[in-house]
Structure 1
Amino acid sequence: MREPFFRHPDEPSPLPDFCSLPVLFTLLVTGALAATVVWLAAGDHRDLSGYSVGILFVTWLALVIGVVLCLLRTWLQRLPGHLPYLAAWLLMMPIVGAASWMAHGLDEALQMGLLRDGAAAFVRDNVLIAALLGAAILRYFYVAAQWRLRLAAVSRAQVEALQARIRPHFLFNSMNTVAALIPLDPAAAERTVEDLAELFRAALGQHEGLDERGDGTLGEELALLDRYLAIEQLRLGERLRVERALDDLPQAFPLPRLLLQPLVENAVRHGIQPLREGGTVTLRGRRDGAAIVIEIANPLSSAPARSGNGHGLDNVRRRVAFRYGPRAAVQAGAQGERYVVSLRLPFETKGNDDARADRR
């Protein structure tokens, strides 16, 4: 069963992936800052060797804590409420205590003389510092997780509302086209009704084959575009011409439903419809390293932009940012006598999957 998107306030927030580079970097930087503050507070600024050993110690300690919490993350996530964070905090104390005891014993065995305090005092001070820093770090991770969940909830609500909306003028125009075709070409009218029904099924998210994130595939999205353009072709006739160069794209590439349709609709509505002679909508695609690039272009019209222009593009930008993260990009603007919208969508990686799992 699909995991509910909205969490109850009493349910646990997802613990961070302690094996990920951002989390390990946070632990390392926090430990280094703590060691620097202690060294500065001691006033012995000439003892650079002691400072170096201290940085090495806290770096090793941060890595050990990160690895242990990473290995136990699955077990910790099973705890109810806020207990995963409390258990993670409590696990830090014995790790720091044992590591401090070992470090003090090693200093005595090698007669390095770096630690002037006794073993008990050294262990006690380090455990207290770790308790304070650990609580602060875990509080930061908790607040960040809550913020991501709220942001994901707001983004998903906006995306679903925008995805479910098909402009009323398109529905009215399509129904008028069907009404005009019924006495002239009943077969074409029937095909148009089927195409329109398929578009609305996709808009309402009632399409088979969607994955747990509600994605379809690029091939399915292009099939929907063909249905949409077939409807518009009946209405605009020879004024609407379409050029496609999409054969190099992987048809199984995961894509949110109706991601491209608003862009093509904008191209038809604002680029073709205002022109008496019509024009050509161009769909191009290519692979670019670890991403695919899709371009939708239409001729520029000299007529003033209609109200509502840009909403479909804003919709696509939000959905792309929510679904693919910062490595994706949506660019739009005039290039010569044509208006071009370019989408750069990265291929799936394990890191992306983990990040999106935290958003759900």
Structure 2
Amino acid sequence: MRGPHSISGLRRPPERGSLPDFCSLPIMFALLVIAALTATIVWLASDNRRDWSSYSISILFVTWMAMMIGLSLCMLRSLLQCLPRQMPYVAAWLVIMPIVAGASVLAYEFNDALQLQLVRSNLGTFVRDNVAITALLAAAMLRYFYVLVQWRTRLAAATRAQVDALQARIRPHFLFNSMNTVAALIRLDPVAAERTVENLSELFRAALGQYDSSDGTLGDELTLIERYLAIEQLRLGERLRVQCDLGDLPVDFPLPRLLLQPLVENAVRHGIQPLREGGEVTLRGRRDSKGLCIEIGNPLSTNPPEPGNGHGLDNVRQRVAYRYGTLAKVEAGKRGDRFVVLLRLPNGPTSSAYSR
């Protein structure tokens, strides 16, 4: 009997292409710039008499044509997206050609009716030249968009896989210590043992990605931290002291799951556990107009750090950079006799490579 991940015998549906959003301002601006540059180059390379009136009308013509192309592709995008693989780009290229041909015919008739004498060639040559130039430019432009979308898709897939792998990793030492604590409490304090198992279960559910959404809330994360610290408190006793001052932080603030818990775990593992007298883990937070500022600190240990130190911090850095971009910062370093990690998370909606 095959397991749930053994699906090699099933036929996968054909992959669908992903066109850029031609309704967006950056894409429309790119079309207008390309059209204006093309008209300028043709005007400069022409052997005819160069005058500003013909240049202005040429810019007007290519701008109108670029807007027609952009709006047409914007309206047809949902239909073109249904085609497999690279076919949406081929279909988009085929859509552009009749638009250019029709616009060229209209421009020629308009020039002939008003006797502007801006077009000196016949109708067939004028339409042919415009279609040929547009075909080359459109092929290059769509190829660029295709490569850009593929690069973003691969980046999103690689980053998502890396985040999932980092999120799913549970340090063996924490599991072993927790199970030993439960075993010791079963006879001495069954209620505490049951509570510890419940806390451990919730941590495992979060770490193994039980939740469908990639984001939780600050309140969810703080609940996980409380469960984790409750487990460690049973093991470390009075050696572990916690000071929490989160002010008026909104508990419904969107936050990637298991973003803060690894930092608290690092603070306990590398700041409290090596010290015979223990120490204090601090969790502070404040909110300003730009977003949230969360600070996690622990005392510095004079002993060499245990192997693997820094993995949790690297995990957080990667996830914050991917989730919030350059607007967020993760700063870590010594501050007097303590080690402090500072997170600055921006307000408002954020984008990622795989949120579409």
TM tier, smaller: 0.7 to 0.9
Do the aligned residues in 1 keep the contact of 2:17 with 2:83 (CA within 8 Å)? no
AA in 2 matched with 1:220: D
Structure 1 residue aligned with 2:40? 36
Deviations 1:255-288 (A, max 9, x none): 2221211111112222222333333322233334
Q: Secondary structure at the match of 1:293?
A: strand
* 2:335 is equivalent to residue 352 of structure 1: no
Q: Is the 8 A contact 1:39 1:45 kept in 2?
A: no
TM-score of the aligned structures, taking structure 1 as reference length: 0.85
Amino acid aligned to 2:63? T
Counterpart-to-counterpart distance in 1, 2:134 and 2:201: 61
Q: 1:240 to 1:93 in 2, by over 3 A?
A: same
- Between 57-66 and 192-201, report the one with greater CA deviation: 57-66
**Root mean square deviation of aligned Cα:** 2.8
Kept in 1, the 8 Å contact 2:156–2:354? The answer is no
Deviates further, 159-168 or 140-149 = 140-149
SS in 2 for 1:140: helix
Residue number in structure 1 paired with 2:216? 216
Q: Which moved more, 1:300-309 or 1:165-174?
A: 300-309
Residue number in structure 2 paired with 1:259: 259
Find out whether 1:187 has 2:191 as its counterpart: yes
SS in 1 for 2:132: helix
Distance 1:194 1:215 in 2: 22
Give the TM-score, by structure 2 length: 0.85
Task: Report Cα offsets for 1:41-96 as digits up to 9, x if no partner.
Answer: 32669645544443443333323322221222112212334332222111111222
- Asked if 1:17 is matched to 2:21, the reply is yes
Question: Does 1:125 find its partner at 2:129?
Answer: yes
Q: Residue 138 of structure 2 aligns with which residue?
A: 134
The whole-number CA distance in structure 2 between the counterparts of 1:320 and 1:45 is: 58
Kept in 2, the 8 Å contact 1:295–1:343? The answer is yes
- 2:128 aligns to what SS in structure 1? helix
C-alpha displacement of 1:297: 2.4
Change (3 A) 1:287 1:72: farther
Question: Is structure 2 residue 145 aligned with structure 1 residue 146?
Answer: no
Other-structure match for 1:4: none
CA deviation after TM superposition for structure 1 residue 198, in Å:
1.0
Secondary structure (helix, strand or coil) at the match of 2:342 reads: strand
Q: Which of the two has higher C-alpha Rg?
A: 2
- Quote the Cα distance in structure 1 between the aligned partners of 2:79 and 2:153: 21
CA distance in 1, matches of 2:311, 2:171: 11
Q: 2: CA distance between counterparts of 1:110 and 1:299? A: 84
The separation in 2 between residues aligned to 1:9 and 1:28, in whole angstroms, is: 37
- Unmatched 5+ stretches in structure 2: 1-10
2:269 maps to 269
What do residues 210-253 of structure 1 show as CA deviations (whole Å, max 9, x unaligned)?
A: 43xx3322211111111011111222222322222335233223
Identity of aligned residues (%): 68
Matched AA of 2:305: A
Gaps of 5+ in 1: 1-6
In structure 2, the CA distance between the partners of 1:285 and 1:47, relative to structure 1 (3 Å rule), is: farther
